[in-house]
Amino acid sequence: MAPTLLLAEDDRAIRHALERALTLEGYRVTAVADGVEALAEAHRMPPDVLVLDVMMPGKDGLQVCRELRAEGDRTPILMLTALVETADRIAGLDAGADDYVVKPFDVEEVFARLRALLRRTSPAPEAATAAPEPAAPVQSLLEAAGVRMDPQARRVWRGERELELTRTEFELLELLVRHAGTVLDHATVYDRIWGYDFGPGSKNLAVYVGYLRRKLDEPGAPQLIHTVRGVGYVLREG
- 44: buried, middle or exposed (CB in 10 Å: 19+, 13-18, 0-12)? exposed
- 52: buried, middle or exposed (CB in 10 Å: 19+, 13-18, 0-12)? buried
Question: Which class does domain 142-235 fall in?
Answer: mainly alpha
Contact 62, 92 (CB under 8 A): yes
> What residue spans define the domains of the chain?
4-121, 142-235
Q: Write down the CATH superfamily of domain 4-121.
A: Response regulator (3.40.50.2300)
Which pLDDT score, from 0 to 100, does residue 128 have? 46
Phi, psi of 148 (to 5 degrees): -115, 135
Task: Per-residue pLDDT tens, the chain, 238 aa: give them.
Answer: 789 999 999 999 999 999 999 999 999 999 999 999 999 999 999 999 999 998 898 899 999 999 999 898 989 999 888 766 666 666 777 788 888 888 888 888 899 889 888 887 765 445 444 444 554 444 578 999 889 999 888 889 998 889 988 878 888 999 999 999 999 998 888 888 877 666 666 777 888 888 889 888 887 788 899 999 889 999 998 7
Q: What is the DSSP letter of 133?
A: -
Distance CA 45, CA 26 (A): 18
Which pLDDT score, from 0 to 100, does residue 89 have? 65
